[in-house]
């Protein structure tokens, strides 16, 4: 199976870190490393044929730092000319996707997660897509992300972006594994009247509604979505604890 890792990285980091002066959000240092490096490390746990990074204003900073490959996997860069949202950014990688695509948001940190097992699941099953999630007791995290209902066998029934109230403990995260026909569903997804763009979760819901086999996949491990200064503080604290624990173990 030919797999492309697509990373939407066109966002600017002013809200997360004012010191960033509007540069690429994914280049904000976390634990002394660019945020994007954590995303790439999660992605290369899957056998990849290529990496597509979708860049925007200031994207040359990303290109200059990461170059044309990461751990031997070729990197291609695609420019999103205007900020039309996550689904649009992902759609720009279509010409580089042959069989399947792993999508990981460029502003999320995953530690000790099961991305490699997503590959095995989709290769050995009839799944048309996988939606990454974690279990959490912090329901406010679901309210600023998205929630899901799953059938007993793990199939997705419903996805709700930014629900007013969480109805279970499932936190949808920024990792998805989809086959190439995702792009056909993207083209048929309605454009939101309020946002003026297609929502990624709506594309997945259309796949579900039309009978595609989309499963939830528990990634386990640690996850932080970096949107606010307090998220950056939380990430630094988590990485610090892990570094200290590693030092004790040595």
The CATH number of 3-249 is which of 1.20.120.1200, 3.40.50.170, 1.10.10.10, 3.90.550.10?
A: 3.90.550.10
- The residue among 5, 8, 9, 109 whose CA lies nearest residue 59 is 9
Helix (H) / strand (E) containing 8: strand 3-8
β partners of residue 76: 52
Residues of the chain with pLDDT under 50: 249-250
pLDDT given at position 21: 59
Q: Full-prediction pTM beyond 0.85?
A: yes
**Measured between alpha carbons, how far is 3 from 148 in angstroms, rounded to an integer?**
25
Q: For 21-66, what is each residue's pLDDT tens digit?
A: 568 999 999 999 999 999 999 999 999 999 999 999 889 999 999 9
pLDDT given at position 244: 83
Q: In the block, which residue shows the tokens 């946002």?
A: 195
pLDDT given at position 73: 98
Helix (H) / strand (E) containing 158: strand 156-161
User: Cβ neighbours of residue 183 under 8 Å, at least 6 residues apart?
Assistant: 91, 94, 97
- Six-digit token string for 160: 């709700």
DSSP structural state of residue 154: S
DSSP structure string for 71-95: TTEEEEEEE-SS---HHHHHHTTGG
pLDDT given at position 63: 97
Q: In the block, which residue shows the tokens 């597509």?
A: 52
Q: Rg (Cα) of the chain, in Å, rounded? A: 17
Break the chain into its structural domains and give their ranges. 3-249
Measured from the Cβ of residue 27, the count of other Cβ atoms closer than 10 Å reads 21
**CA–centroid distance for 88 within its chain:** 14
pLDDT given at position 250: 46
């Amino acid at each position: 199976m030919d797999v492309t890792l697509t990373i939407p990285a066109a966002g600017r980091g002013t809200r997360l870190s004012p010191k960033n002066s509007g540069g690429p959000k994914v280049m904000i240092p976390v634990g002394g490393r660019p945020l994007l490096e954590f995303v790439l490390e999660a992605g290369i746990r899957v056998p990849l044929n290529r990496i597509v990074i979708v860049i925007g204003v200031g994207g040359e900073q990303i290109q200059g730092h990461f170059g044309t490959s990461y751990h031997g996997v070729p990197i291609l860069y695609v420019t999103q000319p205007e900020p039309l949202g996550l689904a649009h950014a992902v759609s720009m990688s279509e010409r580089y996707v042959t069989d399947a695509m792993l999508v990981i948001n460029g502003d999320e940190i995953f530690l000790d997660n099961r991305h490699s097992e997503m590959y095995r699941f989709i290769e050995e099953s009839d799944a048309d897509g996988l939606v990454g999630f974690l279990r959490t007791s912090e329901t406010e995290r679901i309210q600023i992300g998205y929630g899901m209902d799953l059938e007993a066998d793990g199939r997705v029934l419903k996805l709700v972006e930014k629900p007013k109230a969480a109805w279970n403990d499932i936190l949808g995260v920024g990792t998805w594994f989809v086959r190439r026909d995702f792009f056909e569903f993207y083209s048929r997804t309605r454009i939101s009247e309020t946002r003026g763009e297609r929502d990624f979760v709506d594309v997945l819901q259309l796949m579900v509604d039309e009978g595609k086999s989309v499963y939830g996949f528990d990634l386990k491990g640690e996850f932080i979505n970096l949107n606010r200064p307090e998220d950056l503080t939380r990430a630094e604290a988590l990485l610090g604890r892990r570094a200290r624990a590693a030092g004790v173990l040595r």
